[in-house]
């Protein structure tokens, strides 16, 4: 009697999962030059099958809110953690060793950073509209993502980002597929495995065939049960979450003792701090033009630029600039300045809306007397903090 062959192993594939209580999906760290407590919202990716899957990439394809497109028509490649590692855009995912890709990050001051990364600017969102405009309102946003790798089908998923403007109460959750879809997928997967096995087994092994048929039915029932649980559990978590009051946002003076060393992009670097009421900086004002600061940083050797830039951090400046552009970021405005009415952006930073109630009427090219503290300098822009518009 011919013995049955070993069943064919399941083909390799990628599987995504994400919910607030899943270990690794929310990573707490210190971020920005201010060493702010920050939550990175991430998606867990696992390799099913015995083989490793090489050259895995994660992509964000669209963002919606209330059924309306907030961003799309492009693809944003997201980093696998750690975001500064050389393999951030091409990860090897091994069996039983999950990896995580970054979607969004929110600091203790409510500033948001993308899961995208640029070697020059760090956490940078190079698309339009900007993140402040996309996430200008609190509420639920639907993000479409995809992961792919060598010799495996591309897996797609929808994520629900519940944005409360507070990192401790905002959540990122994988939107579960419908119970019918999950059951259908599990049934089809079991049927494929069963058909492959039956083709390899002798017709005389009817007992094994019957056993496989019963196993397929059990998997189908389990699939339906898991799908139902996938709907009920998030619903229960949501009800419990909405019944508890949100935690108090961290204060402006919140700090930590060490840093994760991450770099971020202008204009969204550590300039995310909200401004108190306008005031004149207490330290002595230095008379160095913003173009001078930028040129000195740009002229430094690549590995010495950060040290040169540190020499300007914390200086009080008093400049005559021109308002060029800005973004509405909830309770704040992000302002961009130039040295001329039609020049390039040379300085930027945040101000509170409540401190300047008529600022939204400002025309492009309006001259402004700006007194502020230099937060940091790159080779293209001076990022300001504690901005005080005197005129």
Do residue 86 and residue 194 come from a single domain?
A: no
Average confidence (pLDDT) over 88-104: 93
- C-alpha 139/C-alpha 174 separation (Å) is 16
As a whole number of angstroms, the longest Cα–Cα distance in the chain is 96
Q: Is the pLDDT of residue 268 over 50?
A: no
In this structure, what token pair is assigned to residue 374? 């230099």
Do residue 107 and residue 86 come from a single domain?
A: yes
Do residue 189 and residue 171 come from a single domain?
A: no
Do residue 195 and residue 147 come from a single domain?
A: no
Q: Is residue 321 part of a domain?
A: yes
Q: Taking CA 313 as the corner, what is the angle to CA 311 and CA 318, rounded to the nearest 5 degrees? A: 110
Q: Residue 62 belongs to what domain range? A: 13-175
Q: Is residue 256 part of a domain?
A: no
Q: Is residue 148 part of a domain?
A: yes
Do residue 111 and residue 223 come from a single domain?
A: no
Q: Is the pLDDT of residue 214 over 70?
A: no
Which stretches within 64-204 are classed as H helix? 131-134, 179-200
- C-alpha 386/C-alpha 182 separation (Å) is 52
Non-local CB neighbours of 210 within 8 Å, separated by 6+ positions: none
Do residue 26 and residue 170 come from a single domain?
A: yes
Do residue 112 and residue 163 come from a single domain?
A: yes
> pLDDT confidence of 302, banded at 50, 70, 90?
confident
Count of H helices and E strands in the chain?
A: 5, 18
- C-alpha 92/C-alpha 74 separation (Å) is 25
Q: Is residue 2 part of a domain?
A: no
Do residue 73 and residue 21 come from a single domain?
A: yes
Q: Is residue 240 part of a domain?
A: no
Q: Of 156, 175, 194, which residue is a domain's last?
A: 175
Q: What is the 3-state secondary structure (H, E, C) of 230-294?
A: HHHHHHHHHHHHHHCCCCCCCCCCCCCCCCCCCCECCCCCHHHCCCCCCCCCCCCEECCCHHHHH
Q: Quick one: which of 308, 318, 323 has its CA closest to 288?
A: 318
Do residue 287 and residue 375 come from a single domain?
A: yes
Which stretches within the chain are classed as H helix? 131-134, 179-200, 206-243, 290-299, 305-310
pLDDT in tens, 241-250: 544 444 443 3
Domain at 147, CATH number: 2.60.40.10
Predicted local distance difference test score (pLDDT) of residue 98 = 94
| pTM of the complete model beyond 0.85 | no
Asked if 29 and 149 count as a contact pair (C-beta separation under 8 A), the reply is no
Do residue 327 and residue 217 come from a single domain?
A: no
Count of domains forming the chain: 3
3-state DSSP assignment of residue 16? strand
Q: Which residue has the tokens 């609190």?
A: 138
DSSP 118: B
Q: Of 175, 191, 212, which residue is a domain's last?
A: 175
pLDDT in tens, 30-80: 988 778 899 999 999 999 888 899 999 999 999 999 989 999 999 999 999
Q: Of 144, 175, 206, which residue is a domain's last?
A: 175
In this structure, what token pair is assigned to residue 137? 């309102």
Do residue 189 and residue 170 come from a single domain?
A: no
Do residue 88 and residue 141 come from a single domain?
A: yes
């Amino acid at each position: 009697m011919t013995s049955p062959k070993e069943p064919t192993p399941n083909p390799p594939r990628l599987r995504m999962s994400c919910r607030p209580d899943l270990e690794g999906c929310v990573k707490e760290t210190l971020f920005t030059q201010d060493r702010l407590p920050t939550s990175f919202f991430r998606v867990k990716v696992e390799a099913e099958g015995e083989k490793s899957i090489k050259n895995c990439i994660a992509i964000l394809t669209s963002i919606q809110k209330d059924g309306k497109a907030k961003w799309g028509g492009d693809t944003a490649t997201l980093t696998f953690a750690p975001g500064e590692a050389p393999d951030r855009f091409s990860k090897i995912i091994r069996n039983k060793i999950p990896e995580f890709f970054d979607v969004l990050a929110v600091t203790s001051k409510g500033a948001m950073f993308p899961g995208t990364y640029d070697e020059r600017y760090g956490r940078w969102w190079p698309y339009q509209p900007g993140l402040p405009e996309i996430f200008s309102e609190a509420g639920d946003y639907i993000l479409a993502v995809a992961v792919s790798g060598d010799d495996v089908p591309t897996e797609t998923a929808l994520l629900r980002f519940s944005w409360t403007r507070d990192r401790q109460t905002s959540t990122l959750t994988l939107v579960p597929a419908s119970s019918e879809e999950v059951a259908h997928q599990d049934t089809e997967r079991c049927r494929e495995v069963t058909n492959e096995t039956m083709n390899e087994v002798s017709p005389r092994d009817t007992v094994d065939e019957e056993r496989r048929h019963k196993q397929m039915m059990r998997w189908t029932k389990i699939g339906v049960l898991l799908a139902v649980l996938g709907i009920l559990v998030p619903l229960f978590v949501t009800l419990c979450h909405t019944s508890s009051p949100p935690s108090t946002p961290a204060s402006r003076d919140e700090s930590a003792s060490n840093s994760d060393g991450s770099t971020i992009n202008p204009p969204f670097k550590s300039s995310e701090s909200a401004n108190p009421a306008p005031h004149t900086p207490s330290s002595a004002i230095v008379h160095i033009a913003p173009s001078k600061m930028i040129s000195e940083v740009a002229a430094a050797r690549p590995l010495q630029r950060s040290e040169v830039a540190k020499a300007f951090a914390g200086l009080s400046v008093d400049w005559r600039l021109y308002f060029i552009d800005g973004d509405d970021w909830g309770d704040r405005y992000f302002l961009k300045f130039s040295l001329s009415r039609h020049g390039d952006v040379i300085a930027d930073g945040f101000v509170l809306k409540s401190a300047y109630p008529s600022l939204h009427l400002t025309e492009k090219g309006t001259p402004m007397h700006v007194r502020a503290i230099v937060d940091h300098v790159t080779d293209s822009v001076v990022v300001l903090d504690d901005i005080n518009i005197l005129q």
